[in-house]
A and B are shown apart, each in its own frame.
Chain A
Amino acid sequence: MDMSQYLEIFIEESKEHLQGLNQSLLQLEKNPQDVPMLNEIFRVAHTLKGMAGTMGFNKMAKLTHDMENVLHALRSNEIKVSTDMVDLMFKCLDALDSYVNEVITKGSEGNEEYTDIINGLDNILKKKIDNTPIKVATGDKNLQNEEKPSNLSTLNFKMNQYEQNLVNKAVEMAMNVYKITIVLNKGCVLKSARSFIIFQTLERYSEIIKSEPRVEDIEDEKFDFEFTVIVISKKDEETFQKEITSIAEVEEVIISTIHASNFQTVQEVIAQETEQKTEQIGENQPEESEPENHKAVQTSKSNMKTGKTVRVDIDRLDVLMNLVSELIIIKTRLEGLDEIERTQNYNEVIEYFERVTTSLHDAVMKVRMVPVETVFNRFPRMLRDISRSLGKELELNMSGEETELDRTVIDEIGDPLIHLLRNSADHGIESVEKRKETGKSEVGHINLRAYQDGNNVIIEVEDDGRGIDLEKVKKKAIEKGFVNKDVAKNLSQKDIIDFLFKPSFSTTEKITDLSGRGVGLDVVKTKIEALGGVVEVDTEAGKGSKFIIRLPLTLAIIQALLVQINEEKYALPLNTIREIIKVKPEDIKQVQKQEIILLRNIIVPIIRVGDILDVPPSQKNNKLLTVVIVKKGEKLSGFLVDNLIGQHEIVIKSLGKLLGGIRTIAGATILGDGNVALILDVNSLAV
């Protein structure tokens, strides 16, 4: 069968599952008793294995299979959650991720076997055999709560919390819970087949919740001549006795009823014995743990999105977006038509048309919006890795994950954020010792916040670390020759911080894996500015720093001011414009070859946009010059233009691959008359 048509679905779903696993695993590490979460991990891993197997990616399936084995051991309480184990699991996920990436680029899973990971997984499983169950029970605090050896059994019979809850619930609902031990005839040849028949019989009357040895082992004949099951049923004891003994080769059937009270006494005994157990496991335990468990299930459910959604190819959305853009262009064109008699009817139609296109535009934009969660959700994992490798205790708090941004922005925002987070973890947060010295909590906090502010989305990366050492930055800036000593004295905090965003500027003496190579913040800045956003920094020595990224909500359609330079028309994004003024030619002064004007006593550099863009100079000599004051960050610049045309809603189009590299031009747009106007890149034109 040709699998290629499923490849895309496979890739997409695998990515999703892997992301999900990453998150769940983090949860599990924090809370090893979270049985629903463990079940969820197990389920997803199993799905992944099945998918990989179906697609014929055997190495991937093998790796997931081994992972599943470990998860199974976890689930049946044979091993415990440890940091090393979680590390290995994460490595597993990384390996799986690279398999998927290999599939994306080459269409096959590649040759990497990740034997070290597989061996590591095997080792975990081997360790489990060395540990007797009793040892596990007394050895680990975390697991004690879940270990419930029951002395009712002749075998070493233990149930985990999940199973125990089932029993409790069944008893509550007045169902019978039996422990049935079945002993087979010593002469029985096909033990597994015989047990299969017994299981079938049992399943007809009851639900099997536990079997010792495990069903898999029984299937493989890995048992002597007896096995024990716990079943929940409405039938009485005799039915089972009769039904099972009627099966051939069954030597003996021992049935005992498990009552809830029975259970509690057992627990009490154990509690006294070990003396370490918390009162949670006392008499009230069933009632107590029940709602708790319930809550866990509910929260994990609420985390999952179960809306009615359709997967749509991004290209199709882009086509739709383009068509809407076309419609808006035509609308603008209709509005501008001169040769039509403007009756009231005509105006009404046009107005209605405008309302519809605006709503349509909004709707399409909403479709393209993606919650920042899609970028954020890989960060907890990343921070965990960083915290391990740096030996610092870090805690990442995220909020506003549901804040939405245009897909084009989302795609680009990941790298800058990774950079800022690493920066905070590495440079911002001090070492544990140092934090103790300064009286801070040992755990360093990093807050990642996203929220909408008007037509912008703000993303903040905040740490409670040492803050930026302004003096050090200043010294470095002088060293690097960005500024001379005398000027440096008069620099404001903001000016100094700006040095951080200069290429090849780094203040850490120690270069780590993570950061400090001097390529960094400048890349962040360039990237954010390319998206039409700005980066600001807030810092206080000893208290921490905050990096604030301000991004436009959308990039596709913006309000712009159309200006004319000689005969050419250009568009300036309206959100960059502060004001428009007229000045006399003699108001323009020269300061060190730079033309400036004074605007309410603020020096504003004048930029002759026409000259920069090689526009043939205009012959007209205007008595008053039009200056568009734009802001780049906090700084103002004055763009000299010949004429103002007006404000328009414009659709941003790319110049394409061939002409994509022009810095002063941010794109192009189609005007109402069908001609093309270029959109100026204010950030690269302004000083």
Chain B
Amino acid sequence: MSEAVALNTTQFVVFVLSNEEYGLDIQIVNTIEKMIPITRVPKTPTYIKGVINLRGDIAPIMDLRERFDLPHSEETEETRIIIVKFEEIQFGIIVDEVKEVINICEDNIESITSLGNEGLMENILGAGKVDDRVITLLNIEKLVNISIKE
């Protein structure tokens, strides 16, 4: 396995949501946790599952399957919570499985304009091509925009 680590490559954490592969910039990923009990928080969008106790800190948990309207999948041994921290906001994302960390060269990242699906578009940075896999790269900035309904 020969990996050419060029200057313009970025490392991504690759995870699975409903059998599709997604990637998050490793810079914003804090930790990866096993599933722990989640406390429901009222008056939040359905994709906010609630909050967890993250070693003394309270962290909100987001379910991206709900957010992206993906089919729901059962919780398994592989289910993980990826804790991300973006501009002082810390929260977790439930994923079906965390696979690996890979380098993706800038040249291999397709811009989102070539992709369809309106609703999903704004949450996406682009698509990364690695060998014959296509990994959807998430735009964390959009994910932290949630609305509280009273």
Chain A interface residues (CB < 8 Å from chain B): 322, 325-326, 329, 568, 612-615, 653-659, 661-665, 668, 670, 674-678
- Pick the contact of B37 from A612, A663, A675 — CB < 8 Å? A675
B57, A658: Cβ atoms under 8 Å?
no
A655, B41: Cβ atoms under 8 Å?
yes
The 7 closest A-B pairs by CB, nearest first: A676-B39, A613-B42, A661-B148, A668-B58, A653-B58, A658-B60, A670-B53
Query: For B43, what are the chain A residues with a Cβ–Cβ distance below 8 Å?
Result: 613-614, 662-665
B53, A662: Cβ atoms under 8 Å?
no
B89, A670: Cβ atoms under 8 Å?
no
One of B17-25, B44-52, B70-78, B119-127 contacting the partner = B44-52
Is there a chain A Cβ closer than 8 Å to B116's Cβ?
no
Shortest CB-to-CB span from A70 to chain B, Å, is 45
Query: For B44, what are the chain A residues with a Cβ–Cβ distance below 8 Å?
Result: 659, 662
Shortest CB-to-CB span from B22 to chain A, Å, is 20
B56, A656: Cβ atoms under 8 Å?
no
Closest chain B residue, CB of each to CB of A677:
B39
Is there a chain A Cβ closer than 8 Å to B142's Cβ?
no
Give Cα distance in the complex from A281 to B53, angstroms.
75
- Pick the contact of A656 from B37, B50, B58, B148 — CB < 8 Å? B58
Closest chain A residue, CB of each to CB of B147:
A661
A329, B60: Cβ atoms under 8 Å?
no
B89, A658: Cβ atoms under 8 Å?
yes
**A656-B60, A657-B88, A668-B39 provided; 10 other pairs, C-beta below 8 A?**
A329-B56, A613-B43, A614-B43, A659-B51, A662-B43, A663-B43, A665-B41, A670-B56, A676-B50, A676-B53
Give Cα distance in the complex from A264 to B88, angstroms.
72
> Restricting to B58-76, which residues have a CB under 8 Å from any CB of A?
58-60
Query: For A654, what are the chain B residues with a Cβ–Cβ distance below 8 Å?
Result: 58
B56, A655: Cβ atoms under 8 Å?
no
Is there a chain A Cβ closer than 8 Å to B91's Cβ?
yes
Give Cα distance in the complex from A56 to B102, angstroms.
48
A674, B53: Cβ atoms under 8 Å?
yes
Closest chain B residue, CB of each to CB of A675:
B37
**Can you list 29 residue pairs at the A/B interface with Cβ under 8 Å?**
A322-B56, A325-B56, A612-B42, A613-B42, A614-B42, A614-B43, A653-B57, A655-B41, A655-B51, A656-B58, A656-B89, A656-B90, A656-B91, A657-B89, A658-B60, A658-B91, A659-B41, A659-B51, A659-B148, A661-B148, A662-B43, A662-B148, A663-B43, A664-B43, A670-B58, A675-B37, A676-B51, A676-B52, A678-B42
Chain B interface residues (CB < 8 Å from chain A): 37, 39-44, 48, 50-53, 56-60, 88-91, 144, 146, 148, 150
Shortest CB-to-CB span from B54 to chain A, Å, is 10
Shortest CB-to-CB span from B143 to chain A, Å, is 10
B42, A615: Cβ atoms under 8 Å?
yes
Closest chain A residue, CB of each to CB of B59:
A656
A664, B42: Cβ atoms under 8 Å?
yes
Closest chain A residue, CB of each to CB of B148:
A661
Shortest CB-to-CB span from B105 to chain A, Å, is 32
- Pick the contact of A658 from B39, B56, B146, B150 — CB < 8 Å? B146
Shortest CB-to-CB span from B144 to chain A, Å, is 6
Give Cα distance in the complex from A665 to B40, angstroms.
12
Query: For B60, what are the chain A residues with a Cβ–Cβ distance below 8 Å?
Result: 655-656, 658-659
Say yes or no: A655-B53 contact (C-beta < 8 A), given A665-B41, A677-B39: no
Shortest CB-to-CB span from B35 to chain A, Å, is 13
Closest chain A residue, CB of each to CB of B37:
A675
Shortest CB-to-CB span from B124 to chain A, Å, is 20
Give Cα distance in the complex from A370 to B40, angstroms.
36
Query: For A325, what are the chain B residues with a Cβ–Cβ distance below 8 Å?
Result: 56
Closest chain B residue, CB of each to CB of A322:
B56
Query: For B90, what are the chain A residues with a Cβ–Cβ distance below 8 Å?
Result: 656
Give Cα distance in the complex from A283 to B59, angstroms.
78
Query: For B148, what are the chain A residues with a Cβ–Cβ distance below 8 Å?
Result: 659, 661-662
Query: For B59, what are the chain A residues with a Cβ–Cβ distance below 8 Å?
Result: 656
Give Cα distance in the complex from A322 to B57, angstroms.
9
Give Cα distance in the complex from A325 to B57, angstroms.
11
- Pick the contact of B144 from A326, A612, A658 — CB < 8 Å? A658
Query: For B41, what are the chain A residues with a Cβ–Cβ distance below 8 Å?
Result: 655, 659, 662, 665, 678
Query: For B50, what are the chain A residues with a Cβ–Cβ distance below 8 Å?
Result: 676
Say yes or no: A659-B48 contact (C-beta < 8 A), given A322-B56, A329-B56, A675-B37: yes
- Pick the contact of B51 from A568, A664, A668 — CB < 8 Å? A668
Give Cα distance in the complex from A114 to B117, angstroms.
57
Give Cα distance in the complex from A668 to B53, angstroms.
10
Query: For B53, what are the chain A residues with a Cβ–Cβ distance below 8 Å?
Result: 670, 674-676
Give Cα distance in the complex from A658 to B150, angstroms.
15
